[in-house]
Amino acid sequence: MVTQPAHAPRLELDRELTGVRDDLLRLGNRIDTAIDQALAALLNHDRSLARAVIETDELINRRRYQLEEACLVTIARQQPVAIDLRRLIATMHAAGELERMGDHAAGIAHIVLKLNAATQLPLSNFERMAEAVRRMLRSSLYAFAYDDLQQADRIPVLDDKIDEYYQQNIRNLLTYMLEDNTVVAEATYLLWVSHNLERIGDRCVNLSERTVRR
C-alpha cells in the first residue's frame, strides 16, 4: 500500500492558502481598476465607462462569494487550526471588505449616469483623493496578504489624509452652493462621490486591522 509522506497534508494546505491569497490579490486589483475607471468616468463624463464599472461590480460580487466558498472548502477538507484557520477566516472578511469597496466604486459610476453633463465644478481634489485611496488600497491589501504588520500600522495615518480631502471637498462644495444655487444638485452629487471615496478608505482601515489581529 502506498502511503502519503507525512508532510503531504501541510504541502496541500499551503497550496490552498496560497491559492486563496492570490485570488484575494486579484480581487483587490479589480477593485483598484474599478476605482480608477469610476473617477475617469466622472472626470470625462464617460457614461459608457460608468456602465462598464457597474457591470464589473456584478463580477466582483461573484468573485467574492467564490473566494469565500474556496476558504470554506479548505476549512472543511484540511481542518486547519491556529494561525491557518484565523488566516482563512480573515480572508473571508477581507473579501467582504473588498466587495463593499467595489460597491462604492459602482456608486460613483451611478452618480456619473445621474449627471446630465460634465460637471463645471473643479475636480482636481477628487482626482488627488482617488489616487490616495488607491495607494491606500494597495498598501492595505499587500499588508494583509503578506502579514506585513508594520505596513498595516501605517494605514490609519493614510486614512487621515483621506479624511482631510473629504473635509476639503465638503467645505468647497458648500461654498459653491452658497454662491450659486444653480449648482446645488451637481454639488450634492459630488458630495456623494467624495463620501464613496472616504468609505473606501475606511474599508482599507478595516482590512489593515484584520492583518494586525490574526
User: Cell numbers 456608486 label which residue?
Assistant: 107
pLDDT over 80 (residue 6): no
- Is the full-model pTM beyond 0.75? yes
Q: What is the pLDDT of residue 200?
A: 98
Averaged pLDDT, 144-152 = 93
Among 87, 99, 95, residue whose Cα is nearest residue 213: 87
Q: Are 177 and 183 in contact (CB under 8 A)?
A: yes
Condensed to tens digits (0 to 9), the pLDDT of residues 52-79 reads 999 999 999 999 999 999 999 999 998 8
Q: What is the pLDDT of residue 63?
A: 96
Alpha-carbon span 105 to 155, nearest angstrom: 20
Q: Is 157 exposed, middle or buried (0-12, 13-18, 19+ CB in 10 A)?
A: exposed
| φ and ψ of 129, to 5 deg | -65, -45
> What percent of the chain has a predicted confidence (pLDDT) above 70?
95
Domain boundaries, the chain: 8-212
What are the Cα distances from residue 111, in Å, to 39, 47, 55, 168, 185?
A: 11, 10, 15, 20, 11
> What percent of the chain has a predicted confidence (pLDDT) above 90?
85
Q: How many helical (H) and strand (E) elements, i.e. helices and strands, does the chain have?
A: 6, 0
Confidence of residue 159 (pLDDT cuts 50, 70, 90): very high
Domain 8-212 - what CATH class?
mainly alpha
